[in-house]
Structure 1
Amino acid sequence: MNTTATAPTTSTTSTTSATTAPLRREQKPADLLADKVALVIGAGRGIGAAAARLFAREGAHVLLASRAQHELKTVTEDIRTAGGIAEYTPCDLADGDSVHAAVERAVELYGRLDVAFNNGATGAPPGPLDQVPVAELDRVYAVNLKGTWQAMAAEVAAIRATSGSGAIVNTSSVGSLMGNPELAAYAAMKRAVNSLTESAAITYGPEGIRVNAIAPGTTLTEMMYDWDVASPGTIERLNAQTPLRRAADPVEIAEAAAWLLSDRSSYVTGTVLRVDGGLRS
């Protein structure tokens, strides 16, 4: 759907002076995600919750999904109170059946799927890789990489069958763009998500399905605070390395995802967009 506002026309009559020409009225652009059906996985808190609220404000019909249903209910009620359209459903990224059910639920509720934001993830205790238990590595793999893979497969199928074209955004991490001595397992899975994103963009671009990723920098989420507790001073140290000298609010990351999912980024696919305040510049 074309969401570009029509530019106001101006008179081209040469006899019209600057003082008598009609005033140009500012036109409010259409909402970024007007009338799109959006699935947000990992929507209970942090970036996902901020994205769900933002997408609804931008006109989307939103389905929120995550494991924590009480968090989903709170965010959904906030959206509805603000006049938005939202429902929620349980989803465990480590469970393929659960992922497919969430995607199917979006189609059941709204009749189609246009866009999806795969933001769900799990962290790992910081430390060198030789101190990471294999069970932790398996858990991070199951959620952050395999879960994203399964979500994308289900979303592509749903978009193809209902809307015909659409967009998907995956949440990566700025930590995926270089070595990360404290979060080796997490960063490795996120780097794999980058590769998966690029491969999917090439595969599904001919069908009109765009696939991009965002790579957030230091963002004030529960995961970031947990890391700061485990390694005191982490946020302060990262802020000192960031040209903007601060961490992001989750909604600042959500804004980037909204743009990538919207028709205003219609020629953007296969990119991993850094939203990091210049941290990796």
Structure 2
Amino acid sequence: MLLTDRTAVVYGAGGAIGGAVARAFAREGARVHLAGRTRATLEAVARDIEGAGGQAEPAVVDALDEAAVEKHVAGIGDIDVSFNLVTRGDVQGAPLTELSVDDFLRPVLNGTRSAFLTARAAGRRMAARGSGVILALNSGSAHGSPMMGGTGPADAAADALVRNLATELGPSGVRAVGMWAAGVPETLTRDKLAAVDPAMAEVDLDAVLAGLAGMRMTRRNPTLAEIAATAVFLASDRAAGITGTFVNVTGGMVPR
């Protein structure tokens, strides 16, 4: 197994992608700490992991709360992998000129704050030990995606943070790597789409998924399992030469 005896923290582990990544980490031998704001969803993921013979520890942690993040990490001890998958409150579907300041800034401020707090807490401890991996995920919208509101600037901040963490922490044996993923079918429902863009409340979901597939070089949508498998690889020693960059798991939707 690729992550035997590793300790991983997944922030946002109760979500669709966070839960899938946590389960994949556990299947590969990691002890997984599930952090998030909703105990019920965290405990559901923990039950799945433990039922499959893995190790999981759920904890209610607000990744925007500096003291809460530091207290949680201090209680874990050594950390090998830290992955921030916290939702940011993005608002999409309107031109930038029609957005309120709060709707534009929310994903930028929330995303940057949670990514920084979680990476700093783990990075300090990893650097002291001489090893570790900090992972991040966003949609790749920093490269130009219309009608995405503050998502593009939020993604750009995340991209820059990963690259600078890699530069500063690399000499201490710590890697920082990101993933671009967008429009993963298993994560999309009408309710979730409407929470980001109210105009999507009555959308034909099959048509949306077909449209997303048509935007990709591969003409198919990546699966949740593929996203999780990529995260496992990047967290493992097999990716020891990869840092300071983002792996494109969008099927070519983001052509960089």
Q: TM-score, normalised by structure 1?
A: 0.81
| Counterpart selection for 2:90 from 124, 127, 132 | 124
Q: Structure 2 residue aligned with 1:91, among 61, 70, 75? A: 61
1:92-131 deviation per Cα after TM superposition (whole angstroms, max 9, x unaligned): 2222222223322322xxxx11111111122423211222
Matched, 1:266 2:240: yes
Where do 5+ consecutive residues of structure 2 fail to align? none
Say which is worse superposed, 206-215 or 90-99, in terms of deviation: 90-99
Asked if 1 retains the 8 angstrom alpha-carbon contact of 2:14 and 2:34, the reply is yes
Count of residue correspondences: 245
Is residue 149 of structure 2 the alignment partner of residue 149 of structure 1?
no
How far residue 46 of structure 1 moved from its aligned partner, in angstroms, is 1.1
Matched, 1:235 2:209: yes
Q: In the TM superposition, what is the alpha-carbon distance from 1:138 to its structure 2 partner?
A: 3.5
Q: 1:221 deviation in Å?
A: 4.9
The answer on 1:256 being equivalent to 2:230 is yes
1:64 to 22, 25, 34: 34
CA contact (8 A) 1:227 1:234 kept: no
Q: 2:248 aligns to what SS in structure 1? A: strand
The structure with more radius of gyration: 1
- CA–CA separation in structure 2 for the residues paired with 1:90 and 1:236: 36
Does residue 187 of structure 1 match 2:152?
yes
Quote the residue 1:11 is aligned against: none
Partner of 1:220: 185
In structure 2, the residue matched to 1:6 is: none
Question: Structure 1 residue 150: deviation in Å?
Answer: 1.2
Tell me the TM-score normalised to structure 2 length: 0.89
Aligned to 2:165, the other structure's residue is in SS state helix
What residue number does 1:9 align with? Answer: none
Cα distance in 1 for partners of 2:134, 2:251 equals 23
Q: Distance in 2 between matches of 1:222 and 1:254?
A: 13
- Report whether the alignment pairs 1:169 with 2:138: no
Alignment gaps of 5+ in structure 1: 1-30
- Cα-Cα RMSD: 1.9
Q: Distance in 2 between matches of 1:201 and 1:241?
A: 31
The reply on whether 1:276 has 2:250 as its aligned counterpart is yes
Partner Cα distance (1:150, 1:236) in 2: 37
What percent of counterpart residues are identical? 32
Distance of 2:82 and 2:56 partners within structure 1: 14
- Distance in 2 (alpha carbons) for counterparts of 1:95 and 1:221: 29
Distance 1:105 1:159 in 2: 15
- Give the secondary structure class of the aligned counterpart of 1:217: coil
One of 82, 103, 111 as aligned partner of 2:52: 82
Structure with bigger helix share is 2
Shift >6 Å, 4+ stretches: none
